[in-house]
Chain A
């Protein structure tokens, strides 16, 4: 049965020069699991918000959206609220109350459900979603993954028939993100709820989805089962290409467009059926590109006197001109490590040298003229009313005159391609734009050691590629860049060396090819696909190159 029909929806924001959506049409049957994808600004969020009446943006709108055969605008209030559930990108925006039980019951209270029935439904939902243990906890003490699960649970408890999710896993680490996706597919399979999830990381979600709706420039470009994405010619130009699972990217690059492989297993079968196993290519030993920029020896840190060590006896050396990626699980101490190097936190033992000088010898705030940290949430670095003000602020705080600061800020904005954003409030920018602005602000201080905390979190493939280009530019200029990240694909593709942080120390450091090809759990999908066939290859590009070479050799 058809549950949702979107008919020729065209939408334009007030004052905008072009349509955000133009003639979007599709329909969904009850119980379908659809993935809505497309680059940043393609209109995914606008479309979802138009379907959820209470969140509909103001603007000029044509066309109609039907829920269960009734135009959304004419739905009964209670059906519109309870029948269509909406989960936002940042779980902190979706949570209203201070306790988990209250959050779960909030929607039901609003619908006027009797107290005894709320008790039953809340209890049922808490046990289905595994939230019993934190039922009485405060909502702000939960981890990001649990928070997002709570948002999903507190919407599902209202028994919706249609769930809309706007990039629900963008703020989660890979493990929490695949758990969340597994829950979504369980909801659709076990409860028959129709799901539309907007996503730009497709690796986990594509194998469980029934349908992919691909948007580009306000239009629906593709609408069909995931495996048919292979038939979409010329998708290499679309930003969605970089978001496809590794198996699909390899198969597409080799010109195999039918029945696209989606999972690692399918990818291996694809390669095994076409290529014979080869020996690993020799890799030259690593030569550091410059002098040591950051040297840590025996560093230990803990947050409180009686707390366990977060970093214990950690030693590492990062060279100038190098992009160094630190990987590690949740709570491994990655953010703490950056805090200690940037002087925000003080290690209780050990020694850290920046450019040969102990950080304790840097007086006052002079350390942060050399070492600068870009935090996980880039919006925390903005204190001005506009981006321009924020950029100038960075220069005037170093005693540079107002006029010169203004021209230098504008020059930097041109370099970063953010000139259009200069007069906007920093919070009125998208995730990728905000990060570019924050990075521009940081680099106006000309630091020689740049620390990035989860720089790819919430970014789409195109923004990641731009970030990689910026980092390359910095290392070419002799700066040392240290990124802590969960994103193994990004590290494999762009880092000069990778390190694994475990139990408070660095347990292995090597070039990405050696680092990942020796790991079997903590490695890239491309490496898992090509293991045993093209050993030593850790990126899609690498595997594709070996495939092409093998084809040419035949």
Chain B
């Protein structure tokens, strides 16, 4: 119900692209904090509430590290808080550090969400369209690499257990490992011939190849896409007109609060939490409607 990974890859990709680019390029604290909260919330939802304490702690530590490091190295700004060995530690520099930390952590959180939601398959679907042959080659490669590694482990085990690696000397063992590697190249050459003939036998190379994917574009995907595009358009309008301008140096300016800026905050807020809304909506629907049938 409302499982985020079940959305079509295209709207999901647009959503990630929009939120990540806004968080990276717009240095506005409200935007930064919204994106941080949105990313954190989404990760929590993606992992079904099983966010481990260690993971959360590592984000907090990273946040603290970036916030505290900036004032140590950067001494710009007008408002000194205190002096260490005669050099000032300024309010602006500390605030800039915090702003930077918010940006970095929110992008990291969004990347973690990306890897939860966008499987290899979805990625292939998005970029395989451009080159259908490439997508088959990538798919064959994705099958080949784990097989190669597994085979290498098996051969190493088999050679030792057969008793062909009983020498204690380091050079003998190194030579043996080299031989295993050679054997692996022979195996993969053999294997690629087999795969090529299997592909030929099933018609690979005939003209007029089509491409199939089990992924389907549903109404819900359309809603996510439309909302993403509309909200992103509002946000970019605000950014383009300079309504969100915010400076740390030489002095912290006030947080913009014009009507346009407020509209941008709201629309970016909705955008950041959009997948979470879908998820919560799905859960509520299940709880109050479907499960009562």
Contacts and interface: CB of A to CB of B under 8 A. Distances in A.
A102 B120 CA distance: 13
B168 interface: yes
Interface residues of A, number: 76
Contacts, number: 188
B183 A382 contact: yes
Contact of B162 (A96, A118, A119, A441): A441
A82 interface: yes
A114 interface: yes
B197 A55 contact: yes
A55 B195 CA distance: 12
Interface in B139-160: 139-140, 142-143, 146-147, 150-151, 154-155, 157-160
Interface string A348-380: 000000000000000011101101111101011
Contact of B205 (A92, A110, A380): A110
Secondary structure call for the B interface: helix
A513 B225 CA distance: 71
A381 B206 contact: no
Nearest to A106: B202
B161 A368 contact: yes
A394 B143 CA distance: 33
A154 interface: yes
B279 interface: no
B139 A52 contact: no
Given A97-B136, A97-B140, A445 B202 contact: no
A381 B158 contact: yes
A181 interface: no
A94 interface: yes
A350 B209 CA distance: 59
B121 interface: yes
A93 B160 contact: no
A328 to B, nearest CB: 20
Interface string A104-117: 01111111111100
A113 B206 contact: no
B149 to A, nearest CB: 11
B130 interface: no
A155 B206 contact: no
B211 A115 contact: yes
Nearest to B144: A98
B158 A375 contact: yes
A383 B195 contact: no
Nearest to A111: B203
Given A97-B140, A365-B168, A375-B154, A397 B211 contact: no
Interface stretch (B10-18, B68-76, B174-182, B231-239): B174-182
Interface of B: 121, 132, 136, 139-140, 142-143, 146-147, 150-151, 154-155, 157-168, 172, 176, 179-180, 182-183, 186-187, 190-191, 194-195, 197-214
Given A138-B143, A380-B154, 16 more contacts: A94-B198, A105-B212, A108-B212, A140-B146, A140-B150, A344-B160, A366-B166, A368-B160, A372-B163, A377-B154, A380-B159, A383-B179, A383-B182, A393-B179, A397-B164, A398-B166
Interface of A: 52, 54-55, 77-78, 81-82, 86, 88, 92-99, 101-102, 105-115, 118-119, 122, 135-136, 138-140, 154-155, 158, 339, 342-344, 364-366, 368-369, 371-375, 377, 379-385, 393-394, 397-399, 425, 427, 438, 441-442, 445, 447, 451
14 contacts: A92-B147, A97-B136, A98-B139, A111-B206, A112-B206, A114-B210, A339-B161, A365-B160, A371-B163, A375-B158, A383-B155, A383-B182, A397-B172, A397-B176
